[in-house]
Structure 1
Amino acid sequence: MALSCLFCAIAAKEMESHLVYEDEWCVAFLDIRPIRPGHTLVVPKQHAESIHELDGESYIQLMQAARLMSEWLNRTFQPKKVGMAVVGFDQNHLHIHLIPLEDYHDLTSKAYIDKVDLTASKEELKQVASRLRNG
Structure 2
Amino acid sequence: MASVFTLIMEGKIPGNFVWKDDKAVAILTIQPIRQGHVLVIPREEIDQWSDLPLELAAHLMQVSHKIANALKVAYPATRVGLMIAGLEVPHTHLHVVPMDSMKDLSFEYAKNADGDTLKQTAEKIRTTLQAQGHQEAQV
Say whether the fold is shared (TM-score over 0.5). yes
Query: For residue 124 of structure 2, what is the aligned residue in structure 1?
Result: 131
CA deviations over 1:58-95 (Å, ceiling 9, x no partner) = 11111111111111111211111001100011101100
Q: TM-score, normalised by structure 1?
A: 0.89
- Normalised to the residue count of structure 2, the TM-score between the two structures is 0.87
For structure 1, list consecutive stretches of 5 or more residues without a partner in the other structure. Answer: 113-117
2:105 maps to 107
Q: Which residue of 2 aligns with 1:115?
A: none
Matches within 5 A, 1:55-134: 55-111=53-109, 118-134=111-127
Asked if structure 1 preserves the Cα contact closer than 8 Å seen for 2:97 and 2:105, the reply is yes
Letter in 2 for 1:14: K
Deviation, 1:109, is 4.2
- In the aligned structure 1, how far is the partner of 2:23 from the partner of 2:108? 32
Identify the residue that residue 22 of structure 1 maps to in structure 2: 20
Aligned mates of 1:102, 1:109 — CA distance in 2: 15
Tell me the distance in 2 between the aligned counterparts of 1:84 and 1:17.
21
Q: Distance in 2 between matches of 1:58 and 1:12?
A: 20
Mapped to 1, the partners of 2:27 and 2:6 lie a distance apart of 13
Deviations 1:16-59 (A, max 9, x none): 10000011110000010010000000000011001121112111
Q: CA RMSD in A?
A: 1.2
Tell me the equivalent position of 2:3. 5
* Post-superposition offset of 1:4: 2.9
Are the counterparts in 1 of residues 34 and 104 from structure 2 also a CA contact under 8 Å? yes
In structure 1, distance between residues paired with 2:65 and 2:81: 11
What is the CA–CA distance in structure 2 between the aligned matches of 1:13 and 1:131, rounded to whole Å? 21
**d(CA) in 2 for partners of 1:120 and 1:74?**
21
